[in-house]
């Protein structure tokens, strides 16, 4: 085992670099996690439920900068440790749950590109899970002297009956064939199909000989299929993290919004009624996305009844985490203090001797931030964290670190909420077809053909 | 107290007056650094009552302590105004104070006495001598201690940031920037120095709008501020994003990680990215400006200026938080890396082979462009071009192609070789039959191949319809061979029939026509069938025989030669030749067409209405095309399709159970046909499943070849990715999948992974050891 207190350089760099760039790190989140014990416990129970063959849906709701993305990533990290496979994606105008212009497929592709296992935490894990499954098939084929393709189809028998299942099995066996023949192109094509990157059936048929593709209409079916497949491949199940759900709220077209909400309802119903197995969803969004009765989820009556929070618990001042909604409170100054000291700890690679700034410095820093941007310094700490890490970076270069001298020079900006900006988005009536599909591909070597 | 303020004001007035009469930009050529004789070296916390600073900037040749500094570009004197020019002098590390002692006899050229924050006022007399020597030598000795370089830089920095803060001094500013760039060329290897220089230039470039005039050094080209500035300018000018800038922008994205192919072949990656980007966004990528403004900050290196970073808020939009388009760019980059991966891996495994045709076959088309005129691609393509000679397709001896190909064993062509030949040709829209990707065997070195023009590139696998059609071709050619040769008329009919198939795509028809040409040219002999036929059991052989009869009698006419051939084939398949007549009687169209009620061996349904997947045999007479109404149709249902249901019932009601049985039997026939005709080879031989290593410790969660893999790895701290892949290949495992299994076992036992990283792989030896205990 590695030493308990030492922080791996990879984790340290990932944390510091990402936070300085203003994004949530992908690694080492537990090292800088502050508070949120009840929420973590609730999602941990969800993860166990998924691994046991169940399904779950959670809406992680918090205002801008309250740490939704951080929380989603934290849950993702936990799920990976528990041998689940995770996929994550941010919704945006080109990625939605329901669409007719390729945006739902766009979301699926993004999710699958970010497919992560605990070995491939950074995503790009599709080949890994496929190979793990096929490896088992190869072993079985050897032991029982059968054809690998036959074993693949047998093992996927249950899946074959689901929507798109037959071609799914075909594509897996194409992957295996490609591996045997060292045909990297075919391998890539197989992975592209699995990631939903084919826009037309003709292309898929040319490349893989299959007749169907993953498209807008069957995205959710394929997610369910993928969850079952992952179980067969030896994982606990699939956890999907969809962030920036506010983009659905921002959709100008009512029809488009409603269709997306209907898809959410379908997912929610499936989860509550056991229509999906080994599959979990985490949706991250702002309070507007949930409760706005004009354009939020609550504008859709069926969702409103299912997602309304326990008013009795509210009145009693208790947090009820048994419902699908998890509300994230803003951080407190005390939370931020703990967070800063954790960052200091990470920056020093876990060695208290190397702390660049004493506790007194942390308080002084917070005071400085407070003077500049008021309460935002702890409520939406993104910029405070950036400034703090910049400060540490400069201190690190100094021979005799003098935090007092540098503190007055620290510039801290107020964090603007981009959600307030209008969405430069097309309406469903004129779907934004990916540019790729619009224009015929230019032929790279056309001038050299015979 | 009042007295004190009068004093301060007095000093300030004198200073301003002196400043007026000694402009910072002196016209006269100063020769010697001077100072007020009695002024001491200036302590940091100097009181305002102390003498007025006499220090100033020298921009021409200057002499001090006998050293002639040819460039000048230094501050000299006993003190300089404070940053805000309130008249308070302070320690300026770059200021050459002539009153400070210099020990010319023992110059500290190595800079051993320098501290981390050096300054002329606080270094030793020996170090001062070395520093002046460095300046006198033109500040151009690359091995100089970076501390001296920094002292010089502090001065340049101060001049640029304080004295030249206004716009009008552009000429001097450019001269100083050139000097800094010169220093960067000499001392850029020092990360600290290059970082400061880069940041300073960023700041100046944005503040004084120097991007166009500044020749961007590689350091600047990749600096975030510069890239954001370029992006912002591009937007302001209403331009779309081009590939070059897009890639630079992407490089700043913390979510983007270049993988091995991009690191191993950076230039190729750039080329491919540009090609793909231009293909997707022919007019560049449109994007809208963000509302916040780009601000650039510079934290000076000099201790005199430290503490208050210089900040400039421009009018340009700040693109640093504009992340909307990055996912699209990441996607393009990922695709590029995927496409480069096979070549990159070959390069790591076998660099010389990567230069051969077999290596080039792995390159994506845009990367082949600059190899077109060179060997080995050029002679190969010339050969193909002259062989095709303007024709649609041509049959030629395989040798003609293989002569160019770097075969590992000249007498045999492996499937891998054949695959690469086909892949390379396909990049130039030339197809080849046989093609292993579409179910054929590898090229035979002494056999023929058919090259044909493809109307579109691509195609990696056979669709079920394609596989059925190749089976049909084989049967048809076999029957056409009954009289010993296949004549033009027969070929024409078979081709005609292919063209009529509605479920074949045009590109599949092109390929099948070529397949037919190849099939005929390879002159299949019945004898070759024999060994295949003998592998069939009686039931399979009978199914095959009946399929042949269908083909033969499709024209309602069986001539004696065909019957003789059928009998011969039955004999080869160890069936009683008399069965031919029996099967004929059962299957001939004049017999009762009642497919649903025929015996268990009935395979082919006779249908009146043309179904979606039918293969009709052509009429033997030239000019007359098959007519649907008069002839039996042979339906060869692909493996996964439903059997065609006639539009109108043909007098019997269909029993779904039997229909299902029929479908299954159709599949069976397909499988038999695939087995017989030169279809896909049997599954490649796997390495044998190794016995459980009984002499090695067992590990929970690992068995079979995974266990062998673990033991092969467990003592290696690192391993190149290619070596790992080879090891997995030997064990018949897929590398990424095997890594998952190994790590899973480690996680379950110890909560930590045992294998980490991409290339090279890192093995946690500690974990490996724990796993065994």
pLDDT digits (tens, 9 = 90+) for B404-448: 888 877 778 888 889 999 999 998 889 998 888 888 888 888 889
The tokens describing B350, both together, are 């076998």
Please give the pLDDT value at position B636.
Answer: 38
A92 forms beta bridges with A95
Average pLDDT for residues B255-275, to the nearest whole number?
89
More confident residue, A316 or B688: A316
Residue listed under structure tokens 């990157």: A197
Q: How far is B243 from chain A (nearest CA, A)?
A: 15
| B421 in contact with chain A, both atoms CB, cutoff 8 A | no
The mean predicted confidence, pLDDT, of chain A is 84
Average pLDDT for residues B589-618, to the nearest whole number?
37
Please give the pLDDT value at position A116.
Answer: 95
pLDDT digits (tens, 9 = 90+) for A180-209: 888 888 898 999 999 999 999 988 998 898
| B690 in contact with chain A, both atoms CB, cutoff 8 A | no
Please give the pLDDT value at position A427.
Answer: 39
B76 forms beta bridges with B56, B96
Interchain proximity A234–B458, CB inside 8 Å: no
B564 pLDDT exceeds 90?
no
- Most confident range (mean pLDDT) of A25-34, A432-441, B293-302, B390-399 is B390-399
| B307 in contact with chain A, both atoms CB, cutoff 8 A | yes
Question: What's the full length of chain A, in residues?
Answer: 450
B604 pLDDT exceeds 60?
no
Strands B56-58 and B74-76: antiparallel
Helix axes A254-273, A219-233, angle to 10 degrees: 30
Out of A129, A185, A418, closest to residue B423 by CB: A185
Q: Which of B308, B688, B737 to mutate to test the interface with A (most CBs of A within 10 A)?
A: B737
Number of inter-chain CB pairs under 8 A, A vs B: 195
Chain B residues whose CB is inside 8 A of the A435 CB are 280-281
Chain A residues whose CB is inside 8 A of the B308 CB are 408-409
Interchain proximity B307–A409, CB inside 8 Å: yes
Calpha distance A151→A157 (Å, rounded) = 10
Least confident of A158-162, A196-200, A421-425, B198-202: A421-425
| B366 in contact with chain A, both atoms CB, cutoff 8 A | yes
Interchain proximity A185–B460, CB inside 8 Å: yes
Chain A residues whose CB is inside 8 A of the B764 CB are 2
Interchain proximity B738–A119, CB inside 8 Å: no
The band of B628, judged by pLDDT with boundaries at 50, 70 and 90, is very low
Chain B residues whose CB is inside 8 A of the A411 CB are 297, 309, 311
Q: Is the peptide bond before B376 cis (omega within 30 degrees of 0)?
A: yes
Calpha distance B336→B269 (Å, rounded) = 7
Calpha distance B384→B400 (Å, rounded) = 9
A216 pLDDT exceeds 90?
yes
Least confident of A340-344, B462-466, B514-518, B665-669: B665-669
Please give the pLDDT value at position A114.
Answer: 92
CB contact at 8 A, A388 and A412: no
A369 pLDDT exceeds 50?
yes
List, in sequence order, the alpha helices (H) in B501-639.
506-521, 526-534, 538-553, 560-572, 578-587
Out of A119, A182, A405, closest to residue B753 by CB: A119
Please give the pLDDT value at position A395.
Answer: 80
The chain B residue lying nearest A16, using CA atoms, is B254
Interchain proximity A405–B306, CB inside 8 Å: yes
Least confident of A127-136, A205-214, B661-670, B725-734: B661-670
CA distances from A298 to A289, A293, A306, B39 (A): 8, 5, 10, 78
B350 pLDDT exceeds 60?
yes
The tokens describing B723, both together, are 């070596």
pTM of this prediction? 0.72
Interchain proximity B460–A206, CB inside 8 Å: yes
pLDDT digits (tens, 9 = 90+) for B716-754: 888 888 889 888 988 889 999 999 999 999 988 888 888
| B308 in contact with chain A, both atoms CB, cutoff 8 A | yes
Residues 182-221 of B with CB under 8 A from A: 192
B90 forms beta bridges with B80
A130 pLDDT exceeds 90?
yes
Q: How far is A291 from chain B (nearest CA, A)?
A: 26
Please give the pLDDT value at position B614.
Answer: 39
More confident residue, B226 or B112: B112
The chain B residue lying nearest A18, using CA atoms, is B254
Interchain proximity A131–B736, CB inside 8 Å: yes
Helix axes B170-187, B146-158, angle to 10 degrees: 170
Chain A residues whose CB is inside 8 A of the B116 CB are 398-399
B13 pLDDT exceeds 60?
no
Least confident of A115-124, A379-388, B348-357, B510-519: A379-388
Calpha distance B406→B377 (Å, rounded) = 12
Q: How far is A252 from chain B (nearest CA, A)?
A: 18
- String of DSSP letters for A171-193: HHHHHHHHHHHT-HHHHHHHHHH
Out of A118, A181, A436, closest to residue B747 by CB: A118
Calpha distance B273→B275 (Å, rounded) = 5
CB contact at 8 A, A231 and A77: no
Which residues of A248-365 form beta strands (DSSP E)?
Answer: 279-285, 325-327
More confident residue, B468 or A291: A291
Chain B residues whose CB is inside 8 A of the A449 CB are 428-430, 453
Interchain proximity A128–B737, CB inside 8 Å: yes
CB contact at 8 A, B588 and B632: no
Please give the pLDDT value at position B621.
Answer: 37
Interchain proximity B737–A209, CB inside 8 Å: no
Out of A23, A120, A183, closest to residue B254 by CB: A23
CB contact at 8 A, A304 and A297: yes
Interchain proximity A444–B366, CB inside 8 Å: yes
With a CB cutoff of 8 Å and minimum separation 6, the contacts of B308 are A408, A409, B83
More confident residue, B555 or B252: B252
Q: How far is A132 from chain B (nearest CA, A)?
A: 4
> Torsion-angle region of residue A187: left (phi > 0), alpha (psi -120 to 50) or beta?
alpha
Interchain proximity B755–A119, CB inside 8 Å: yes
């Amino acid at each position: 085992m590695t030493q308990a207190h030492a922080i791996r350089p990879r984790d340290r760099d990932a944390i510091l670099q990402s936070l300085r760039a203003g994004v949530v790190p992908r690694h080492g989140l537990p090292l800088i996690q502050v508070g949120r014990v009840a929420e973590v416990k609730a999602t941990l129970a969800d993860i166990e439920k998924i691994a046991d063959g169940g399904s779950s849906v959670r809406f992680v709701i918090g205002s801008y900068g309250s740490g939704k993305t951080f929380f989603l990533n934290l849950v993702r990290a936990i799920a990976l440790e528990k041998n689940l496979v995770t996929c994550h994606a941010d919704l945006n105008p080109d990625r939605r749950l329901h669409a007719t212009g390729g945006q739902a497929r766009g979301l699926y592709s993004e999710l699958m590109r970010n497919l992560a296992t605990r070995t491939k935490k950074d995503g790009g894990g599709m080949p890994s899970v496929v190979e793990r499954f096929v490896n088992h098939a190869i072993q079985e084929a050897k032991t029982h002297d059968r054809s690998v393709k036959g074993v693949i189809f047998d093992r996927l028998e249950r899946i074959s009956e689901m929507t798109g299942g037959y071609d799914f099995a075909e594509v897996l066996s194409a992957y295996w064939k490609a591996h045997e023949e060292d045909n990297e192109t075919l391998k890539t094509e197989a992975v592209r199909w699995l990631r939903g990157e084919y826009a037309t059936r003709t292309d898929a048929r040319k490349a893989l000989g299959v007749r169907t593709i993953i498209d807008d209409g069957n995205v959710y079916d394929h997610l369910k299929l993928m969850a079952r497949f992952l179980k067969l491949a030896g994982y606990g199940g699939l956890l999907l993290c969809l962030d920036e759900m506010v983009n659905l709220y921002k959709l100008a077209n009512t029809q488009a919004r409603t269709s997306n909400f209907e898809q959410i309802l379908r997912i929610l119903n499936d989860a509550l009624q056991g229509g999906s197995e080994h599959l979990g969803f985490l949706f991250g969004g702002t309070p507007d996305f949930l409760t706005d009765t004009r354009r939020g989820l609550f504008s859709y009556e069926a969702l409103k009844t299912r997602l309304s929070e326990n008013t009795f618990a509210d009145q009693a001042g208790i947090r009820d985490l048994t419902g699908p909604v998890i509300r994230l409170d803003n951080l407190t100054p005390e939370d931020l203090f703990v967070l800063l000291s954790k960052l200091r700890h990470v920056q020093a690679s876990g060695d208290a001797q190397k702390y660049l700034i004493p506790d007194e410095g942390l308080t002084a820093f917070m005071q400085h931030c407070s003077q500049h941007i008021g309460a935002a310094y702890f409520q939406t700490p993104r910029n405070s964290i950036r400034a703090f890490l910049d400060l540490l970076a400069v201190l690190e270069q100094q021979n005799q670190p003098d935090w007092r001298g540098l503190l007055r020079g620290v510039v801290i900006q107020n964090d603007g909420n981009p959600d307030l900006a209008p969405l430069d988005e097309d309406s469903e009536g004129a779907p934004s077809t990916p540019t790729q599909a619009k224009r015929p591909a230019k032929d790279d070597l056309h001038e050299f053909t015979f | 107290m009042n007295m004190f303020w009068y004093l301060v004001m007095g000093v300030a007035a004198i200073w301003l007056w002196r400043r007026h009469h000694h402009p910072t930009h002196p016209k006269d050529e100063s020769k010697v650094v001077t100072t007020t004789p009695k002024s001491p070296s200036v302590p940091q916390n100097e009181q305002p009552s102390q003498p007025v600073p006499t220090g100033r900037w020298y921009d021409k040749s200057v002499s001090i302590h006998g050293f002639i500094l040819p460039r000048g570009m230094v501050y000299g004197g006993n003190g300089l105004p404070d940053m805000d020019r309130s008249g308070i002098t302070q320690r300026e590390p770059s200021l050459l104070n002539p009153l400070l002692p210099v020990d010319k006899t023992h110059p500290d050229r190595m800079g051993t006495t320098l501290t981390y924050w050096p300054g002329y006022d606080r270094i030793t007399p020996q170090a001062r001598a070395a520093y002046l020597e460095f300046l006198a030598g033109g500040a151009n000795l690359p091995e100089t201690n970076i501390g001296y370089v920094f002292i010089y830089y502090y001065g340049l920095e101060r001049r640029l940031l304080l004295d030249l803060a206004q716009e009008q001094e552009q000429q001097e500013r450019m001269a100083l920037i050139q000097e800094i760039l010169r220093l960067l060329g000499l001392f850029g290897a020092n990360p600290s120095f290059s970082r400061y220089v880069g940041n300073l230039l960023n700041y100046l470039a944005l503040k004084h709008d120097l991007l166009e005039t500044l020749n961007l050094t590689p350091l600047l080209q990749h600096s975030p501020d510069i890239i954001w500035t370029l992006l912002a300018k591009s937007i302001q000018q209403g331009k779309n994003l081009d590939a070059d800038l897009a890639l630079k922008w992407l490089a700043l994205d913390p979510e983007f990680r270049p993988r091995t192919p991009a690191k191993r072949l950076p230039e190729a990656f750039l080329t491919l990215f540009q090609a793909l980007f231009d293909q997707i966004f022919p007019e560049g990528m449109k994007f809208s400006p963000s509302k916040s403004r780009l601000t650039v900050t510079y934290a000076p290196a000099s201790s005199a200026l430290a503490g208050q970073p210089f900040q400039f808020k421009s009018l340009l939009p700040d693109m640093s938080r504009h992340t909307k388009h990055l996912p699209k760019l990441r996607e393009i980059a990922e695709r590029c890396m995927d496409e480069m991966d096979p070549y990159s891996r070959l390069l790591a495994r076998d660099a010389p082979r990567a230069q051969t045709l077999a290596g080039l076959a792995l390159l994506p088309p845009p990367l082949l462009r600059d190899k077109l005129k060179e060997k080995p691609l050029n002679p190969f393509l010339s050969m193909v071009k002259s062989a095709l000679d303007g024709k649609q397709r041509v049959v030629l001896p395989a040798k003609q192609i293989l002569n160019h190909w770097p075969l590992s064993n000249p007498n045999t062509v492996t499937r891998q070789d054949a695959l690469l030949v086909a892949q390379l040709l396909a990049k130039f829209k030339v197809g080849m039959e046989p093609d292993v990707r579409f179910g054929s065997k590898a090229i035979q070195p002494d056999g023929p191949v058919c090259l044909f023009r493809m109307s579109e590139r691509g195609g990696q696998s056979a669709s079920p319809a394609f596989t059925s059609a190749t089976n049909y071709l084989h049967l048809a050619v076999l029957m056409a061979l009954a009289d010993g040769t296949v004549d033009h008329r027969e070929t024409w009919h078979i081709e005609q029939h292919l063209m009529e198939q509605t479920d074949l795509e045009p590109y599949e028809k092109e390929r099948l026509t070529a397949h037919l040409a190849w099939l005929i040219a390879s002159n299949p002999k019945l004898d070759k069938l024999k060994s295949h036929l003998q592998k069939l059991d009686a039931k399979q052989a009978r199914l095959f025989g009946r399929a042949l009869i269908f083909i033969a009698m499709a024209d309602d006419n069986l001539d004696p030669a065909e019957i003789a051939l059928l009998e011969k084939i039955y004999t080869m398949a160890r069936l009683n030749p008399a069965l031919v007549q029996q099967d004929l009687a059962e299957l001939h169209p004049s017999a009762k067409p009642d497919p649903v009620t025929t015996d268990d061996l009935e395979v082919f349904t006779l249908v009146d209405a043309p179904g979606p997947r039918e293969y009709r045999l052509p009429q033997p007479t030239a000019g007359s095309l098959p007519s649907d109404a008069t002839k039996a149709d042979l339906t060869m249902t692909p493996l996964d399709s439903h059997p065609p249901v006639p539009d109108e019932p043909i007098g019997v009601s269909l029993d779904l159970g039997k229909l299902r049985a029929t479908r299954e039997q159709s599949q069976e026939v397909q499988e038999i046909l695939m087995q017989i005709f030169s279809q896909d080879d049997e599954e490649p031989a796997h390495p044998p499943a190794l016995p459980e290593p009984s002499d090695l410790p067992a590990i929970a969660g690992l068995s079979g070849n995974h266990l062998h893999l673990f033991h092969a790895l467990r003592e290696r701290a690192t391993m190149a990715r290619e070596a790992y892949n080879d090891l997995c290949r030997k064990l018949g495992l897929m590398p990424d999948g095997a890594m998952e299994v190994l790590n899973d076992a480690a996680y379950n036992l110890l909560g930590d992974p045992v294998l980490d990283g991409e290339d090279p792989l890192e093995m946690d030896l500690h974990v490996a050891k724990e796993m065994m205990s």
